[in-house]
């Protein structure tokens, strides 16, 4: 599960650091599925409630996971550390994102938090990776869209309404991220 990289020797760190916030454990479950899909020893997983985001400094490749709450709001752990994200040197880091949302219950704000997080780290110099097609989703609006609204800024998951598609989406996205991370 979660670990603190400061206690790890540099040589024992995985090539990817995955940082997530989760209030209901769904984002944590997805983080663990991503770790399993990418393979043993490839990903160190950290809950941002337990590990400071500055630990991302130790990783040249980073995955960030965030659910969207209510009307396009940040998950509480991300909200608490939002300003600390600015302290990380994101220059030259390849960063992929994944987000969870509810496209039926909150169709006007689907994955907005994913869009906010992507915009923040991209502005700070991260090299975004892992964009995901909007095909197959039904929602009204999202702050997580780019490329004339044809792509999400990261893997889009809706475990409320499309749980049966989650594992396949994770598997496909992980293959894409491996290639973009040059692993």
Buried/exposed code over 33-51 (b: 16+ C-beta within 10 A; e: otherwise): bbbebbeeebbbbbbbbeb
Summarised one tens digit per residue, pLDDT across range 24-73 is 999 999 999 999 999 989 999 999 999 999 999 999 999 999 999 989 99
Query: Pick from 138, 141, 119: which is nearest to 128 by CA?
Result: 119
Helix, strand, coil % over all residues of the chain, rounded to 5: 35, 20, 40
Q: Which CATH fold would you assign to the domain 14-180?
A: Rossmann fold (3.40.50)
Average pLDDT over residues 97-126: 97
- Predicted pLDDT at 158: 96
34: left (phi over 0), alpha (psi -120 to 50) or beta: alpha
Q: How far apart are CA 8 and CA 159, in angstroms?
A: 33
Work out the pLDDT band at 9, boundaries 50, 70, 90. low
Backbone angles phi, psi at 104, to 5 degrees: -95, -45
Query: Pick from 139, 132, 175, 179: which is nearest to 153 by CA?
Result: 132
**pLDDT > 80? residue 3:** no
- Predicted pLDDT at 2: 45
Angle between helices 163-180 and 26-38 (to 10 degrees): 50
Summarised one tens digit per residue, pLDDT across range 132-170 is 999 999 999 999 999 999 999 999 999 999 999 999 999
Give the percent of the chain with pLDDT over 90.
Answer: 91
Give the percent of the chain with pLDDT over 70.
Answer: 94
Q: Judging by beta carbons within 10 Å of its beta carbon (0-12, 13-18, 19+), is residue 8 exposed, middle or buried?
A: middle
- Predicted pLDDT at 146: 95
């Amino acid at each position: 599960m979660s670990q603190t990289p400061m206690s790890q020797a540099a040589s024992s760190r995985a090539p990817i650091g995955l940082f997530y916030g989760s209030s209901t454990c769904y984002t944590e479950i997805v983080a663990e599925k991503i770790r399993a899909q990418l393979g043993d020893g490839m990903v160190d997983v950290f809950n941002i409630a337990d590990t400071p985001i500055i630990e991302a400094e130790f990783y040249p490749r980073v995955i960030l996971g965030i659910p969207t709450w209510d009307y396009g709001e940040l998950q509480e752990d991300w909200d608490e550390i939002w300003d600390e994200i600015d302290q990380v040197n994101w220059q030259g880091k390849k960063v992929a994102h994944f987000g969870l949302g509810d496209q039926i219950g909150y169709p006007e704000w689907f994955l907005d938090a994913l869009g906010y997080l992507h915009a923040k780290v991209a502005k700070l110099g991260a090299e975004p990776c892992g964009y995901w097609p909007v095909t197959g989703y039904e929602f009204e609006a999202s702050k997580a869209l780019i490329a004339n609204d044809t792509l999400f800024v990261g893997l889009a998951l809706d475990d409320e309404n499309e749980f049966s598609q989650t594992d396949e989406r994770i598997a496909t996205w992980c293959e894409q991220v491996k290639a973009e991370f040059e692993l």
